[in-house]
Amino acid sequence: MAVQKLRSGVIGRIARLIDFRIDERLRDLNGRVNELEHATADHRRRLDGAESGLEHARGDLRWTRAELDRLIPSVAAQEAQLEDLRESISLPAHADKPELAEARSLIQEIQRQHAQIRVRLAGIARYEDRLRRLEETATVPAGE
């Protein structure tokens, strides 16, 4: 009887130890499962947001493509008109060589003078801007 009582006590103690270890592992596993469930929910939420953004981008792309398809014929027509205009401008005038050379030199002289005027106007604009800043500095009271 004493041996049987001792045996049942040892068996009971081993069973409690095993139950404790199993419960400890189950708690760890339950915590890990809960953690993974939260992470999965977060990933699903982020995936839904990304899919929504992607669908919005697809809609924008479809709209852009439709606008592009609508504008391409207009642009092609304008390019054709520009090419026709370019051809009509490039047709040689009915003039002899000396007149063409003189006309070209006059055009080049006008272009050169225009470039000089642009440079002078830019210089004047910088000078006026500097004067404006100096006047603003002069009008600000010394205490500020």
**Residue range 91-115: mean pLDDT, rounded:** 82
Boundaries of domain holding 53: 1-91+98-139
pTM higher than 0.85, yes or no?
Answer: no
Answer yes or no: is pLDDT of 46 > 90: yes
Mean pLDDT of the chain: 87
Q: Does the residue 123 lie in any domain?
A: yes
CA distances to 2, 60, 119, 120, 141 from 133, rounded to whole Å, are 109, 46, 21, 20, 14
Please give the tally of structural domains in the chain: 1
Q: Does the residue 78 lie in any domain?
A: yes
Q: Does the residue 61 lie in any domain?
A: yes
pLDDT digits (tens, 9 = 90+) for 63-90: 999 998 888 888 888 988 888 888 777 7
